[in-house]
């Protein structure tokens, strides 16, 4: 009798779980469809590149679209900065100009270590922060901004000690005040 009850429970669980799984899967597919709707499949991600024998935190700009993509800049914003012995006051915001064309299917790695170091005020010892970033690029005549997932960083000077992805909401990035550079990009597209 116990096997029958167990089998029934498992069957009901499968019948309820399967539709839920397919609904969530189709919802995820539709949310990922946004890049394909614009016709531009440009995928900036945070990753690592070898630099002078050690790993360097970088934005990896992957162009999977049919045409060239012009990478304009990446804006780095630091929050929850904990640093001592800084050589200057921390701005917590820096813009790294990229100004480079990425042909399909190429990937361009761009190191962020110096940009993060400058935004943190040039700390001389260990420091930590949460890094959020926005990549601005052009495909054809249209300008785009792509917010990227934030990362919790622990660093020592220009060396990355640890890196951990953080949960986020894209609306949080859009709610931040616009920088002068994003206004400039907006003016270029008009």
pLDDT digits (tens, 9 = 90+) for 66-115: 899 999 999 999 999 999 888 899 999 999 999 999 999 999 999 999 99
Domain, as residue range, for 180: 39-189
Count of domains for the chain = 2
Residue 183: pLDDT band with limits 50, 70, 90: very low
The CATH number linked to 165 is 2.60.40
Calpha distance 116→137 (Å, rounded): 20
Residues 12 and 98 in one domain: no
Calpha distance 136→147 (Å, rounded): 9
pTM of the predicted protein model: 0.70
Residues 55 and 119 in one domain: yes
Tell me the two tokens of residue 105: 């299917």
Residues 173 and 137 in one domain: yes
Greater confidence (19 vs 105) lies with: 105
Residue 189: pLDDT band with limits 50, 70, 90: very low
Greater confidence (15 vs 121) lies with: 121
| Cβ(103)–Cβ(124) below 8 Å | no
Residues 133 and 65 in one domain: yes
Calpha distance 55→48 (Å, rounded): 6
Tell me: pLDDT of 161 over 70.
yes
Comparing C-alpha atoms, which of 173, 175, 82 is closest to residue 130? Answer: 82
Tell me the two tokens of residue 106: 């190429």
Residues 140 and 163 in one domain: yes
Residues 92 and 45 in one domain: yes
Residues 132 and 177 in one domain: yes
Task: Specify the DSSP element, H or E, that contains 134.
Answer: strand 126-139
Tell me: pLDDT of 12 over 50.
yes
Confidence (pLDDT) at 171 = 52
Greater confidence (63 vs 179) lies with: 63
Confidence (pLDDT) at 72 = 96
Residues 70 and 45 in one domain: yes
- Report the mean per-residue pLDDT for the chain: 82
Cα dist. 163→20, 56, 117 in Å? 33, 11, 15
Residue 111 has a CB neighbour count (10 Å cut-off) of 16
Residues 104 and 161 in one domain: yes
**Which whole number is the average pLDDT over 127-143?**
94
Residues 112 and 164 in one domain: yes
């Amino acid at each position: 009798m116990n096997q029958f009850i167990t089998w029934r429970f498992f069957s009901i669980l499968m019948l309820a779980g399967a539709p839920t799984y397919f609904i969530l899967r189709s919802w995820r597919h539709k949310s990922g469809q946004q890049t394909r709707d614009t016709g531009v499949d440009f995928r900036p991600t945070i990753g690592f590149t070898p630099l002078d024998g050690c790993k360097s935190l970088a934005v990896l700009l992957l162009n999977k679209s049919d045409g060239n993509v012009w990478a304009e800049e990446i804006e780095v914003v630091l929050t929850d900065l904990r640093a001592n012995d800084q050589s200057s006051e921390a701005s917590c915001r820096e813009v790294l100009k990229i100004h480079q064309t990425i042909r399909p299917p190429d990937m361009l790695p761009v190191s962020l270590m110096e940009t993060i170091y400058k935004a943190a005020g040039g700390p001389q010892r260990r420091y930590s922060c949460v890094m959020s970033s926005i990549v601005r690029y052009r495909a054809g005549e249209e300008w785009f901004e792509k917010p990227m997932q934030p990362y919790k960083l622990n660093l020592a000077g220009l060396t990355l000690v640890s890196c951990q992805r953080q949960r986020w909401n894209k609306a949080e990035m859009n709610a931040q005040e616009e920088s002068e550079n994003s206004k400039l990009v907006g003016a270029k597209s008009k």
